[in-house]
Amino acid sequence: DIQMIQSPSTLSASVGDRVTITCRASQSISSWLAWYQQKPGKAPNLLIYKASSLESGVPSRFSGSESGTEFTLTISSLQPDDFATYYCQQYIAYPITFGQGTRLEIK
């Protein structure tokens, strides 16, 4: 199985900050990676697909990048609505696997 190692597990930041979340795959997944945002009691919401493609309707402050097996989600200027949990997901091979999640908290 492909392991997705996500870091940090918790991140404290302030409105206006630039934040970065990282996900490392245990083997090559090409660009077959997605990022989701989840708020308490709600279903996840797609932010980024194919490593760097912004889903329609998602604010442009969200961006994704990749370097080999390391993938990054960047929020350029945190807004109050962005405090949530973020997950990466690989979908190149079964079983589909997720990172363990990053909880983004208000500092």
**Chain contacts with another protein (rule: CB under 8 A):** 32, 34, 36, 38, 42-46, 49-50, 55, 87, 89, 91, 94-101
The Cα–Cα gap between 37 and 56 comes to 14
Least Cβ distance, residue 72 to another protein (angstroms): 17
Q: Are 70 and 24 in contact (CB under 8 A)?
A: yes
Tell me whether the omega of the peptide bond preceding residue 80 falls within 30 degrees of 0, making it cis: no
Residue owning tokens 């919401």: 45
The Cα–Cα gap between 26 and 7 comes to 14
Beta carbon nearer to another protein, 69 or 102:
102
Least Cβ distance, residue 87 to another protein (angstroms): 6
The Cα–Cα gap between 39 and 2 comes to 26
Least Cβ distance, residue 86 to another protein (angstroms): 11
Beta carbon nearer to another protein, 7 or 45:
45
Beta carbon nearer to another protein, 19 or 51:
51
